[in-house]
Amino acid sequence: MNQQADNGNRETEVSDLKIGVIGAGVMGSGIAQSLATAGFETVGYDVSPEAVEKAADLVRTGRYGFDRAVSRKKLSQQDADAALDRLSFTTDFAKAAHADLVIECVPEDLALKIRVFRDLDAAAPKDTILASNTSGFSIAAIASATDRPEKVVGWHWASPPPVMRFAEIVRGPLTGDDAIETVKTVAADCGKNPIVVKDTAMAWGFVANRVYGAMLREASRVVDEGIASHAEVNDLMVDCFNWPVGPFAMVKGASEGWK
């Protein structure tokens, strides 16, 4: 079994890690669900009681929730129940911050993320790894809000998190090997395919979103020029490239959830 050594010379089973998720929206709840399914004790946090309640319902009854996974025989009822036992949602920031790994999943606002990481740095144990699900902000900029830049890493997920194998792991200029290896192992345990890429301050989006952004800009031009409608572009790209959804449907699903 994979192991990592912490600064206290104690060997911690990766499968025994406690993981916090900051933000319980569409992405945060899906990430928390994926982690709990993989066997990790997981605490999802949101400042909004309504968001916490909605997240708890979404992981059970949503399109990619446990109920549908069981009905489609993707997951046994026993495994679903065990995952739910490992998963909790709270409005208590400290409960999510007191973990071995914390994944930030708040809206894509750099100032907000920096505030969250400043608060996490103060609240989390000194050995806690802090990961950001940012879609493209510099990890160096986010890490600068902390006194532990060697433990700050990017872990960009794709929507919907329980389904997509995508795991874009972003190494900041000061990110340590231990943090990278731990996050890679957790991602692999979640059934993802972790690919480590370099941080950049030159352009927003790392790899996936830089390429996707170029495609979306061209798709928008096609619509603006009257060549095809949004729906027709979606259908054509699905039919031609076997994508699960088209470019405009991806934007809607990632922001509003998958119906």
pLDDT mean across residues, the chain? 92
pLDDT digits (tens, 9 = 90+) for 144-155: 999 999 999 999
Percent of the chain with pLDDT over 70: 92
Mean pLDDT of 60-89: 96
**CA 41 vs CA 17, 60, 127: distances in Å:** 7, 17, 17
Q: Would the pLDDT of 51 be above 80?
A: yes
Q: List the domain boundaries for the chain.
A: 3-198, 211-256
Torsion of CA 148, 153, 252, 45, to 10 degrees: -50
Q: Would the pLDDT of 65 be above 50?
A: yes
167: left (phi over 0), alpha (psi -120 to 50) or beta: beta
Mean pLDDT of 75-87: 97
Which residues lie across from 194 on neighbouring strands? 167
Angle made by CA atoms 97, 100, 105, in degrees to the nearest 5: 50
**Global pTM value:** 0.87
- Confidence label for 257 from pLDDT (cuts 50, 70 and 90): low
Given a contact cutoff of 8 angstroms between Cβ atoms, the answer to whether 18 and 45 are in contact is no
Q: Provide CATH code, domain 3-198.
A: 3.40.50.720
pLDDT digits (tens, 9 = 90+) for 185-196: 999 999 999 999
Mean pLDDT of 168-185: 98
Query: Which residues are CB-contacts of 169 (< 8 A; sequence separation ≥ 6)?
Result: 153, 154, 155, 156, 180, 183, 184, 187, 194, 195, 196, 197
